[in-house]
Amino acid sequence: MKQSHLFTKTRKEAPADEVSKNAQLLIRAGFIHKEMAGVYSFLPLGLRVIENIEAIIREEMDAIGGEELIMTALQRKELWEKTDRWNDKNVDVWFKSKLKNDTDIGFGWSHEEPITDMMRDYVSSFRDLPIYVYQFQTKLRNELRAKSGIMRGREFIMKDMYSYSLDEKSHQDFYDRAIKAYMNVFKRVGIGADTFITFASGGAFTQFSHEFQTITDGGEDSIYINRENNIAVNEEVFNEETLEKIGNDVIGNDHRKFKKEDFDKVTTAEVGNIFNIGTKKCEQLGLFYTDSEGKKIPVWLGSYGIGITRLMGVIVEKFSDKDGIVWPECIAPFQVHLIGLLDKEGKVKVAAEALYEKLTKNVEVLYDDRDVRAGEKFADSDLMGIPVRVIVSEKNIAEGVFEIKYRQGGKSGEVKKVSEVDLFKMLEK
Amino acid sequence: MKQSHLFTKTRKEAPADEVSKNAQLLIRAGFIHKEMAGVYSFLPLGLRVIENIEAIIREEMDAIGGEELIMTALQRKELWEKTDRWNDKNVDVWFKSKLKNDTDIGFGWSHEEPITDMMRDYVSSFRDLPIYVYQFQTKLRNELRAKSGIMRGREFIMKDMYSYSLDEKSHQDFYDRAIKAYMNVFKRVGIGADTFITFASGGAFTQFSHEFQTITDGGEDSIYINRENNIAVNEEVFNEETLEKIGNDVIGNDHRKFKKEDFDKVTTAEVGNIFNIGTKKCEQLGLFYTDSEGKKIPVWLGSYGIGITRLMGVIVEKFSDKDGIVWPECIAPFQVHLIGLLDKEGKVKVAAEALYEKLTKNVEVLYDDRDVRAGEKFADSDLMGIPVRVIVSEKNIAEGVFEIKYRQGGKSGEVKKVSEVDLFKMLEK
């Protein structure tokens, strides 16, 4: 894409009321626009990042047998009353409204209920299971406070997956596969080493739910980690009882006795959350199957969430410096930022356009064809954070080279002069 | 995809309260699920159709310079008050709710206001224009009645585009290009010949807005068409005054005097709608640019919508028969429905799987690998409406052929026996 075609512009300052680093940088770089606290639009550059993240997650969810669908925002009161989650005392993030005929409706903040209810149309026999479905869906949550930018929104995109299994064993098997798939996602987007599967409260069926927590100063959570045994516990359940349970159950026959001192406290952001729901919700909603002996059995349910926009926010919090964002290559809006430092005679324009045509056949390129100063182009490029910068200038043309500079990694900042042949070699995967 | 992996099943009957043909067929074939009146989830097959329609529209919008983004559902009251569209008397489809701190919020039913407001961050000089942006976004509209299936929903996906232009001429030029792009879309999805650009009421700036109306018995509108001059007028403005205006303005120097008898009445569904808004809304919202002489000028706005789910509904209304849906090839969830009529020895399974592996390299294939009767497979296939059916059976294997049958067009219903080489030739574009 030519940068002159992009309607967004970078800006020196974020809005005064924007306190989070992720939203400040994303607004300044033209990736998002703030509609109100916790509510952001995604502009062309931001939408590209979202789609790249979604593509990675889609691959991992398909690999464990997921089928993609899309549920609705509008929710029926009767359905959520069956599981006692309509009441504002039990769920404090509902947005609610009314149809013209005065029927109460809610706006979806999660989708266990409608998906489970729908499955009654498709599940009757044991032959119909298992079923794993997922969606990328815009959730609406009436959060009391929203000051972490796109990390905690009142409106945000979430990948939520739901597993429907025959029995506890097959349920637990899938749950474990989902954990691996989640860790694959976090590895692929570059935060694997700093992301911990964390014991947290909640879970209707089991004592704990599992959170995926990523170390970042921009996070809202505190967890305690034991790196040696790769164990992490959320602050809210970090007590003697939990440690004893973990020592008995998780380490296996070792029955190790953990002490609080074995753990370090770190600030984190939750990037994923999975719930081992058991059979209770399916019993409440009437989702049963008939087994081979004709007996009616409730279905086992698991629920698995990754906040897409939240994940994008965490990545920006972690991968940024004083000059701007430093996108991991696989989710960057473009792989190459081609910068033409225009001359009066128009030689650079010709050379840069020729290179642009060639490059776009292999990689996604943003070509800065604007008639502005070199310093402004470089500052904008640093702020936008595209991994590889290729510079075409009068001087480079005279020398028969291109300049290449990486935004990230060990080679970050270093400028190299390379031939066109070498440039294409360096950009090859 | 293997059909055994698909969690949806076909059903003989649609829900009793579902009166529209499009929703009846789509529910029976497992493409959608009804959450409540006018509110439908899109299941794996349905989502594939949506994505195919979106891909075609994306190409056409990009071709006229559109940039894709995604705005939010949550809307600020103050913004819509500026254009007097918050009031329920002026806009009767708002869903509204409140933040925890009692602030009123609405749920987006259209996005002229927030996009125009946002553009104030990006437009200051004449050099910043034109800008054309579009999105595929879930709209929420509190419709009094919703009984046309996915053709008129309370929640639906819409492609909405907004053009910001310097002056009337460049605005009108883009408006005309958008009309052509829209007609390209309707041609590509197979309804071009039955779709008319129709004079309708509305338009803040001009006397008329333009609707794209498609002839179908399932429609809610009536229009009057003059095929000879390719002119169509919505019933609501079909009067002497309109005909005179069209005679003067549209036919050119001819100043032809149309009579009511020159038009035929047909039942149609609106598949697109465009508004020539002029400068009023930008004046109300404060979107101005500075021209080359330093003068402050309001921006020209156009608004262009296609209901994605509505378009899908219209296509089902038009392209279906007593046995089920007949998808146009370019938006079908799969191009080929491979059906294995399993034998006891397992020969068919081997042959069908081998063919499946080969076919999926070139086309999207749904492979019916289920262990059910041939009659059930054929009935399901007819209902689901995939364009080409390829049958592998014991008899075919013995003869060294495959059977191929088209769901649509002149060859519809005819079964041909072909060699593997010929099969691949026939499936080539």
Residue-level pLDDT at A150: 95
The CATH number for A301's domain is 3.30.930.10
Q: Do A44 and B67 touch (CB under 8 A)?
A: yes
Co-location of B314 and B341 in the same domain: no
Does residue B326 fall inside a structural domain?
Answer: no
A122 contacts on B by Cβ (under 8 Å): 7-9
Q: From B130, which residue of chain A is nearest by alpha-carbon distance?
A: A7
Residue-level pLDDT at A178: 97
A158 contacts on B by Cβ (under 8 Å): none
Co-location of A311 and A277 in the same domain: yes
Does any CB of chain A come closer than 8 Å to the CB of residue B4? no
Does any CB of chain B come closer than 8 Å to the CB of residue A9? yes
Does any CB of chain B come closer than 8 Å to the CB of residue A70? yes
Co-location of A350 and A381 in the same domain: yes
Bridge partners (DSSP) of residue A365 are A336
Q: Do A133 and B7 touch (CB under 8 A)?
A: yes
Q: Do B73 and A40 touch (CB under 8 A)?
A: no
Q: Do B35 and A76 touch (CB under 8 A)?
A: yes
B41 contacts on A by Cβ (under 8 Å): 69-72, 114, 118
Q: Do A96 and B97 touch (CB under 8 A)?
A: yes
pLDDT one digit per residue (tens) for chain A, 429 residues = 999 999 999 999 998 989 999 999 999 999 999 999 999 999 999 999 999 999 999 999 999 999 999 999 999 999 999 999 999 999 999 999 999 999 999 999 999 999 999 999 999 999 999 999 999 999 999 999 888 999 999 999 999 999 999 999 999 999 999 999 999 999 999 999 999 999 998 755 567 889 999 999 999 999 999 988 888 999 999 999 888 888 766 655 566 788 999 999 999 999 999 999 999 999 999 999 999 999 999 999 999 999 999 999 999 999 999 999 999 999 999 999 999 999 999 999 999 999 999 999 999 999 999 999 999 999 999 999 999 999 999 999 999 999 999 998 666 677 899 999 999 998 886
Q: From A143, which residue of chain B is nearest by alpha-carbon distance?
A: B100
The CATH number for B351's domain is 3.40.50.800
Query: What is this model's ipTM?
Result: 0.95
Does any CB of chain B come closer than 8 Å to the CB of residue A131? yes
* Tokens linked to B270: 């609106």
Does any CB of chain B come closer than 8 Å to the CB of residue A142? yes
Residue-level pLDDT at A392: 97
Does any CB of chain A come closer than 8 Å to the CB of residue B76? yes
Co-location of B271 and B357 in the same domain: no
Residue B371 C-alpha, separation from nearest chain A C-alpha, in angstroms: 12
Co-location of A346 and A232 in the same domain: no
Task: Name the residue among A263, A372, A74 with its Cα closest to residue B35.
Answer: A74
Does any CB of chain A come closer than 8 Å to the CB of residue B131? yes
Does any CB of chain B come closer than 8 Å to the CB of residue A138? yes
For an interface test with B, the pick among A121, A145, A164, A372 (most B C-beta atoms closer than 10 Å) comes out as: A121
Residue-level pLDDT at A351: 96
Residue-level pLDDT at B191: 97
Co-location of B63 and B120 in the same domain: yes
Residue-level pLDDT at A321: 94
Q: Do A138 and B138 touch (CB under 8 A)?
A: yes
Does residue B415 fall inside a structural domain?
Answer: yes
Co-location of B293 and B345 in the same domain: no
Does residue B72 fall inside a structural domain?
Answer: yes
Does any CB of chain A come closer than 8 Å to the CB of residue B72? yes
- Stretches in chain B below the pLDDT threshold 50: none
Task: Name the residue among A183, A213, A199, A196 with its Cα closest to residue A276.
Answer: A199
A144 contacts on B by Cβ (under 8 Å): 100
Nearest to A41 among B39, B69, B128 (CB): B69
Does any CB of chain A come closer than 8 Å to the CB of residue B342? no
Does residue A168 fall inside a structural domain?
Answer: yes
B144 contacts on A by Cβ (under 8 Å): 100
pLDDT tens per residue across span B189-203? 999 999 999 999 875
Q: Do B114 and A35 touch (CB under 8 A)?
A: yes
Q: What is the pTM of this model?
A: 0.96
Burial of B296 (0-12, 13-18, 19+ CB in 10 A): exposed
Nearest to B71 among A7, A8, A41 (CB): A41
3-state secondary structure chain A: CEHHHCCCCCCCCCCCCCCCHHHHHHHHCCCEEEEECCEEEECHHHHHHHHHHHHHHHHHHHHCCCEECECCCEEEHHHHHHCCCCCCCCCCCCEEEECCCCCEEEECCCCHHHHHHHHCCCCCEHHHCCEEEEEEEEEECCCCCCCCHHHCCCEEEEEEEEEEECCHHHHHHHHHHHHHHHHHHHHHCCCHHHEEEEEECCCCCCCCEEEEEEECCCCCEEEEEECCCCEEEEHHHCCHHHHHHHHHHCCHHHCCCCCHHHCEEEEEEEEEEEEEEECHHHHHHCCEEECCCCCEEECEEEEEEEEHHHHHHHHHHHCEECCEECCCHHHCCCCEEEEECCCCCCHHHHHHHHHHHHHCCCCCEEEECCCCCHHHHHHHHHHHCCCEEEEECHHHHHHCCEEEEECCCCCECCEEEECHHHHHHHHCC
Residue-level pLDDT at B201: 84
Does residue A328 fall inside a structural domain?
Answer: no
Q: Do B9 and A122 touch (CB under 8 A)?
A: yes
Q: Do A96 and B100 touch (CB under 8 A)?
A: no
Q: Do A74 and B154 touch (CB under 8 A)?
A: yes
Q: From B132, which residue of chain A is nearest by alpha-carbon distance?
A: A7
Domain count, chain B: 2
Show which of A276, A299, A321 is a domain's final residue. A321
Co-location of A229 and A307 in the same domain: yes
Show which of B279, B297, B321 is a domain's final residue. B321
Co-location of B60 and B136 in the same domain: yes
Co-location of A168 and A124 in the same domain: yes
Range of the domain at A273: 3-321
Q: From A156, which residue of chain B is nearest by alpha-carbon distance?
A: B72
Does residue A329 fall inside a structural domain?
Answer: no
Show which of B321, B348, B370 is a domain's final residue. B321
Does any CB of chain B come closer than 8 Å to the CB of residue A427? no
Co-location of A315 and A353 in the same domain: no
Residue A155 C-alpha, separation from nearest chain B C-alpha, in angstroms: 7
Does residue A394 fall inside a structural domain?
Answer: yes
B76 contacts on A by Cβ (under 8 Å): 35-36
Q: Do B69 and A39 touch (CB under 8 A)?
A: no
Does any CB of chain B come closer than 8 Å to the CB of residue A122? yes
Does residue B375 fall inside a structural domain?
Answer: yes
Nearest to B118 among A6, A41, A131 (CB): A41
In angstroms, the Cα distances linking A250 to A238, B93, B321, B332, B390 are 15, 54, 59, 49, 52
Co-location of A315 and A420 in the same domain: no
Residue-level pLDDT at B256: 74
Q: Token match 């939203």: residue? A: A23
In angstroms, the Cα distances linking A43 to A30, A149, A207, B29, B118 are 7, 15, 41, 36, 10
* B contact residues 242-281, partner A, Cβ 8 Å cutoff: none
Nearest to B8 among A11, A105, A122 (CB): A122
